[in-house]
Amino acid sequence: MKTFEEKWTAWVDGKLTGKDLVEFEASLSDRASAEAERRDVQKLGALLKKELGAQTLSNADFFSHQIRERIQREIAAQDRHGERFTWWTIRRLTWAGATSLAIFVICAVFVIRDKSPSQQSQYLTQILNARVDPAVSPNATITMFEAKEDKVTVLWVEGLQSLPADYAAK
Amino acid sequence: MHRRLLLLATCFALATSAAPAAHAAHVVWSGLVIAENVARPTPIPSELTRIEQTLKELFGYNQFQVIGQSSKTLKTGEEDWLASSKYFGLHVDARGETEAGYLLNLKLYKEKELLLETDTKLSKRSPLVIKGPQVGSGQLLLVLVVQ
């Protein structure tokens, strides 16, 4: 069952026919006023159809252009947005990695240079020569060796004149 | 571009700051030590802690007492100094610095009498121990350590 409004709309649009048309028109209390209103509505509809339809068609390219521009703006904004939050791009990661590696190599070179002398002779203390006064200690002998555990170099002098305990004074 | 320059500047700063550290001034500790065997040995002086085991094994004593010492900061590698006790004097004359350490001339005096003279290349990582004369029941040792 159609409501009055539905029947009114169909009547205005000229889509009400047959028995429904007769019944609806009979139900109108002021037929003349209703007819006038229908004409006004039809005029308005025609006007709107004409104006809006013509504008849409004539500005199709303009709207298309506007839509494309808007899409491009949105894409550019998304790109900028994405760039701000992903600072670590592949290029920057590569640079950061190369820089870190360079810093590591520099530090390693200095550490290795400081801790590993090229020769054993540089690593341990060397005794170049040693002598005692033969007049004071005629039987003295000198021996040199290295205690590898603590990397201690020892100059072992035997035969020096023994001294009394008083000489241990500070 | 600015970030690249900043990174390069950082690398350069690291490199230049590391270089002087490798040639920093060192302190040479020289000591006259009496080694003895006693019933209740006193703790070994801190300067000898790192070579305590070697001293005990080599010389067979359980106590090591410092009777004279000197700590010298070497800046040019040409300094000289004296570590002395009441009767002994150890004169150390630094005659230059090498990559590994210092060239030193050492003279041990008993009062004014020269007992021993030696030239050494003292490594920064290798202490030098010299066995001196017997003193009473103990032994005089000369120790040099780059700290």
pLDDT at B6 over 70: no
Mean pLDDT taken over chain B: 86
Percent of chain A past pLDDT 70, that is, above it, reads 86
CA A167, CA B115: separation in Å to the nearest integer? 14
The pLDDT confidence band at residue B48, using thresholds 50, 70 and 90, is: very high
The pLDDT confidence band at residue B24, using thresholds 50, 70 and 90, is: low
Residues A105, A77 share a domain? no
Residues A42, A71 share a domain? yes
Q: Report angle CA B46, B48, B52 to the nearest 5 degrees.
A: 115
B54 touches chain A (CB under 8 A): yes
Residues A103, A67 share a domain? no
Range of the domain at A164: 120-168
Full-model pTM = 0.57
Domain-wise residue ranges, chain B: 24-146
pLDDT at A15 over 80: yes
Find the CB nearest A128 among B15, B115, B121: B121
Give the per-residue pLDDT at B65. Answer: 95
Lowest-confidence pick of A112-126, B34-48, B59-73: A112-126
Pairing state of beta strands B101-110 and B88-97? antiparallel
**Complex-level ipTM:** 0.82
- Bridge partners, B142 (sequence order): B32, B130
Mean pLDDT taken over chain A: 83
The answer to whether the beta carbons of residues B64 and B44 sit under 8 Å apart is: yes
Residues A74, A59 share a domain? yes
Residues A67, A18 share a domain? yes
The pLDDT confidence band at residue B21, using thresholds 50, 70 and 90, is: very low
Mutate to test the interface with B, among A125, A127, A133, A145 (most CBs of B within 10 A): A125
Average pLDDT over residues A117-131: 75
> Which chain A residue shows the shortest CA-CA distance from B83?
A170
> Which chain A residue shows the shortest CA-CA distance from B10?
A103
Residues A100, A49 share a domain? no
Query: Which two tokens mark A40?
Result: 């006004």
Residues A107, A63 share a domain? no
Lowest-confidence pick of A7-11, A38-42, A147-151, B57-61: A147-151
Mutate to test the interface with B, among A152, A158, A161, A162 (most CBs of B within 10 A): A152
Of A5 and A102, the structure prediction assigns the larger pLDDT to: A102
Give the per-residue pLDDT at A50. Answer: 80
CA A56, CA A48: separation in Å to the nearest integer? 12
Percent of chain B past pLDDT 70, that is, above it, reads 84
The answer to whether the beta carbons of residues A9 and A26 sit under 8 Å apart is: no
Which residues on A lie below 8 Å from B20 (Cβ)? none
Give the per-residue pLDDT at B22. Answer: 46
Give the per-residue pLDDT at B4. Answer: 61
The answer to whether the beta carbons of residues B29 and B145 sit under 8 Å apart is: yes
Of A2 and B86, the structure prediction assigns the larger pLDDT to: B86
Residues A77, A11 share a domain? yes
Residues A76, A13 share a domain? yes
Residues A138, A72 share a domain? no
In terms of Cα–Cα distance, which of B71, B72, B63, B107 is closest to B88? B107
Q: Which of A82, A104, A133 is the last residue of a domain?
A: A82
Find the CB nearest B133 among A106, A154, A163: A163
The pLDDT confidence band at residue B18, using thresholds 50, 70 and 90, is: very low
Pairing state of beta strands B80-84 and B138-146? unpaired
pLDDT digits (tens, 9 = 90+) for A62-117: 778 888 888 888 888 877 765 556 678 888 899 999 999 999 999 999 888 766 55
Lowest-confidence pick of A47-51, B60-64, B105-109: A47-51
Residues A54, A14 share a domain? yes
The pLDDT confidence band at residue A28, using thresholds 50, 70 and 90, is: confident
Give the per-residue pLDDT at B23. Answer: 53
Residues A112, A43 share a domain? no
Total number of domains constituting chain A: 3
CA B129, CA A154: separation in Å to the nearest integer? 5
Percent of chain A past pLDDT 90, that is, above it, reads 24
SS3 A119: coil
The answer to whether the beta carbons of residues B63 and B14 sit under 8 Å apart is: no
**A133, B48, B83, B90, B126 from B70: Cα distances, Å:** 25, 14, 5, 10, 18
Average pLDDT over residues A137-157: 88
